[in-house]
């Protein structure tokens, strides 16, 4: 459902995303893990069609995002890492605005809005201006907007940041149920437990390249084969994070 071929983004001489090849089939929940600056957000923004690749292609359901952006975006919901929303709209007005972008209006979409707002405990805030929402409430509103038109593919950047434990649990269950129904979700996360908990497959990205990809069980087996215990050890080994011993040396220097 999502196909990346040679996907590349350069800023001047710096390569943020380096010839990524990846296929995520329908019904899969795929996770991007990687350290700060690995290229996760850049990749997700190119997939969502809001950042133009320097090279390579993105296809959503077979449609090239650069060549045919409107048709590709119609199949897609994008949840950014920071919830910027026009503050002078109410939650309901924002959701109607987003539904309108996908040419949807009327009683069915109003019902779906109400269901999503109730799911995230926002029902009583429906007619309040977004300026009165907390960070987590804004995040929940943006998440609701991405599910409104039932897109085939949802691309989501750091979905759990700012959510309370109840909302995080609801979101994980929603992701699972959504992919079980044949939709596709690609998410980035820093939280290894979240990736282990919900993702069917994971890619570990560093310096714009995929260093390892597979199911959690496959990655854990790879970790053990290279003398590491569990996903965390493997992640740290692949991404070259500093060992505690090195940190002590830095602190003592």
Q: How many CA atoms lie within 13 A of 217 on its CB side?
A: 1
**What is the nearest approach in angstroms of ligand ATP to the Cβ of residue 162?**
14
**What is the nearest approach in angstroms of ligand ATP to the Cβ of residue 181?**
28
Q: Give the Cα separation of 109 and 113 in Å (integer).
A: 6
**What is the nearest approach in angstroms of ligand ATP to the Cβ of residue 163?**
17
**Comparison of 189 and 237: residue with beta carbon closer to ligand ATP:** 189
**Comparison of 9 and 140: residue with beta carbon closer to ligand ATP:** 9
**Comparison of 161 and 170: residue with beta carbon closer to ligand ATP:** 161
Q: How many CA atoms lie within 13 A of 22 on its CB side?
A: 30
**What is the nearest approach in angstroms of ligand ATP to the Cβ of residue 213?**
16
**Comparison of 41 and 139: residue with beta carbon closer to ligand ATP:** 41
**Comparison of 80 and 91: residue with beta carbon closer to ligand ATP:** 80
**Comparison of 40 and 201: residue with beta carbon closer to ligand ATP:** 40
Enter the DSSP assignment of 241.
P
Question: Which whole-number Å values give the CA distances from 83 to 73, 86, 87, 145, in the listed order?
Answer: 19, 10, 11, 11
**What is the nearest approach in angstroms of ligand ATP to the Cβ of residue 207?**
9
**CA torsion through residues 146, 149, 150, 151, sign:** negative
The residues binding ligand ATP (CB under 6 A) are 11, 16, 34, 36-42
Q: Give the Cα separation of 172 and 159 in Å (integer).
A: 9
Pairing of strands 184-189, 153-157: parallel
Q: Give the Cα separation of 201 and 25 in Å (integer).
A: 11
Q: Are 75 and 151 in contact (CB under 8 A)?
A: yes
107-119 helix and 91-101 helix, angle to the nearest 10 degrees: 130
**What is the nearest approach in angstroms of ligand ATP to the Cβ of residue 106?**
37
**Comparison of 98 and 238: residue with beta carbon closer to ligand ATP:** 238
Which strands make up the sheet holding 153-157, listed edge to edge? 76-79, 153-157, 184-189, 29-33, 201-206, 209-214
Phi and psi at residue 63, to the nearest 5°: -100, 130
**What is the nearest approach in angstroms of ligand ATP to the Cβ of residue 190?**
6
């Amino acid at each position: 459902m999502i196909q990346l071929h040679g996907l590349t983004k350069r800023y001047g001489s710096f390569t943020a995303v380096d010839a990524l090849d990846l296929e995520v089939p329908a019904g899969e929940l795929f996770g991007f893990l990687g350290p700060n600056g690995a290229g996760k957000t850049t990749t997700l923004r190119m997939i969502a069609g809001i950042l133009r690749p320097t090279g390579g292609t993105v296809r959503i359901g077979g449609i090239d995002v650069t060549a045919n952006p409107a048709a590709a975006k119609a199949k897609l919901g994008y949840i950014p890492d920071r919830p910027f929303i026009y503050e002078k709209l109410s939650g309901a007005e924002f959701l109607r605005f987003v539904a309108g972008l996908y040419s949807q209006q009327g009683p069915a979409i109003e019902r779906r809005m109400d269901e999503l707002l109730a799911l995230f405990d926002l029902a009583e805030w429906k007619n309040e201006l977004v300026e009165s929402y907390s960070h987590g409430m804004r995040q929940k509103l943006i998440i609701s907007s991405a599910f409104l038109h039932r897109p085939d593919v949802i691309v989501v950047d750091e979905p759990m940041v700012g959510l309370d434990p109840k909302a995080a649990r609801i979101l994980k269950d929603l992701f699972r149920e959504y992919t079980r129904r044949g939709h596709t979700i690609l998410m980035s996360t820093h939280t290894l437990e979240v990736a282990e908990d919900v993702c069917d497959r994971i890619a570990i990205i560093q310096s714009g390249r995929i260093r390892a990809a597979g199911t959690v069980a496959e990655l854990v087996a790879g970790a053990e084969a290279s003398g590491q215990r569990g996903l965390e050890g493997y992640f740290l080994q692949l991404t070259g994070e500093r060992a505690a011993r090195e940190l002590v040396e830095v602190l003592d220097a």
